Amino acid sequence: MTDFSKDARIFKALCDRKRLAILDCLKGGETCACVLIEKMHIGQSALSYHMKILCDSGIVTARQEGKWTHYSLSVTGRNYASKRLLELTTPNSQTQAKCCK
């Protein structure tokens, strides 16, 4: 049986409006946590919570500089997430339809 735990982390990261807004902010390039806190109108603990989920998914990477963390989108993570979504939603032409009859 396939282990979907990595896929679950990816889709969990994408199922929250705040996290989607954070991803949208990161499209402009690497962004400091202090900027995200201001743009998102959230506290540091709320941002840390969302960024942990995004980083655990592999879609976002983090880099520490002094007391601040800088975040950026991961090309590898994005490509993997796109590939998995396509794989999970593409019908398998080899498998016949199942019926309860």
What value, to the nearest 5°, has the Cα angle with vertex 11 and ends 6 and 12? 95
pLDDT score, position 100: 78
pTM of the model as a whole: 0.88
Cα separation, 31 vs 72, whole angstroms:
6
8 Å CB contact between 60 and 67: no
Cα separation, 70 vs 80, whole angstroms:
22
pLDDT score, position 97: 66
Domains, the chain, ranges and CATH? Answer: 5-84 (1.10.10.10)
Longest alpha-carbon distance in the chain = 65
pLDDT score, position 34: 96
pLDDT score, position 54: 98
Q: What is the mean pLDDT of each successive set of 10 residues along the chain, which is 101 residues long?
A: 93 97 97 97 97 98 96 97 95 74 70
Q: Where are the alpha helices (DSSP H) in the chain?
A: 5-13, 17-26, 33-40, 44-57, 75-89
Both tokens of 99, joined, read 């019926």
